[in-house]
Structure 1
Amino acid sequence: MPLYFEDFQVGQRFTTPARTVTEADIVNFAGVSGDFNPIHTDAEFARSTPFGARIAHGLLVLSMLTGLRQRSGHFEGTLIAWLEIRNYRFLKPVFIGDTIHGETEILEKRETSRPDRGILVQKVRVLNQKGEVVQEGEFVTMVKRREGGA
């Protein structure tokens, strides 16, 4: 069920569904982004790195987080715009076969001069199947208010 600005409360938390990162995800992202760095695309090269295997693009995982958040239904039809990504950090590698999910906490909400929208600041984290935080930061988004504000 989609949530409007008024429905969110500071301190509120929610978890997204999970998904497994596949080789197809990495190949497709490389094709779309043009980032064919061998750490992502060359198994022999990747074996020689400190990671020991190919890893997912950091921005692929960030993109997956945005999709997982959308699948949660909280922002379905109510998200107006992304305004900012703050202090985003890539903490651990994500490997082919890892299963990730996202967590969101509402840090701040503020009204705008327009009665049909508000701003949310959210702490976001991506966790792997071991419960390790692999990415974290803050999203600032503009969200619809209910008809007529309030």
Structure 2
Amino acid sequence: MGTSLYFDDLVEGQSFESTGRTVTESDLTFFSMLSGDWNPIHCDVGFSSKTRYGERLVHGAFGIALATGMIHSLGIFEKSAVAMMSLKDWKFRKPITLGMTLRLKLFILEKDPGKSERVGRVNRLLQLVDESGSIIQEGESDMLILKSGR
């Protein structure tokens, strides 16, 4: 989209969708290095081939990081976001695997203008979905957002 939206621009029920991003071997390796999580389900082909999934799985926390990055790539909060206030009820519905293409669906659930003249609270549903539209991860996130661009 590329245009910043402000509190008054958003409508409950409104939705946005990011472009897709394919998860790579480099993603898995870099996230292992960043997090320090070298669990064999992520990094050992022999071990993971014997699990019920039959392959290595990408870290669940990588999905959260990817989803928050995809929010930024939408561009709708670039100049209006003040702070992410929460990440709640996050569910890991299906594993992330190498080669999977994911995108973010973002839904405006609720708006609360509060008492501030400067910012309001917006509750959003974030869904990380695969190429078939299956929900891989999802949860809610409150944010503070500027009420106007002035």
- Give the TM-score normalised by structure 1: 0.94
Unaligned residue ranges in structure 2 (runs of 5+): none
**What is the CA-CA distance between 1:112 and the residue it aligns to?**
2.5
Q: Is 1:112 equivalent to 2:103 in the alignment? A: no
Aligned to 1:72: 74
* 1:1-150 alignment, distance < 5 Å: 1-147=3-149
Secondary structure, aligned partner of 1:50: coil
CA distance in 2 between partners of 1:22 and 1:112 (Å): 42
- Identity rate of aligned residues, in percent? 33
CA distance in 2 between partners of 1:147 and 1:140 (Å): 20
Secondary structure, aligned partner of 1:84: coil
**What is the CA-CA distance between 1:28 and the residue it aligns to?**
0.5
- Cα gap change, 1:147 to 1:13, in 2 (>3 Å): closer
1:93-136 CA distances to partner (integer Å, 9 max, x unpaired)?
11100000010111100013221111010111110112111111
**Equivalences, count:** 148
RMSD: 1.1
Report if the CA contact (8 A) 1:90-1:134 is conserved.
yes
1:18-59 CA distances to partner (integer Å, 9 max, x unpaired)?
100001011111111111111111111110111110111111
Report if the CA contact (8 A) 1:98-1:129 is conserved.
yes
CA distance in 2 between partners of 1:27 and 1:117 (Å): 39
Moved over 3 A (4+): none
Unaligned residue ranges in structure 1 (runs of 5+): none
Secondary structure, aligned partner of 2:8: helix
Secondary structure, aligned partner of 1:88: strand
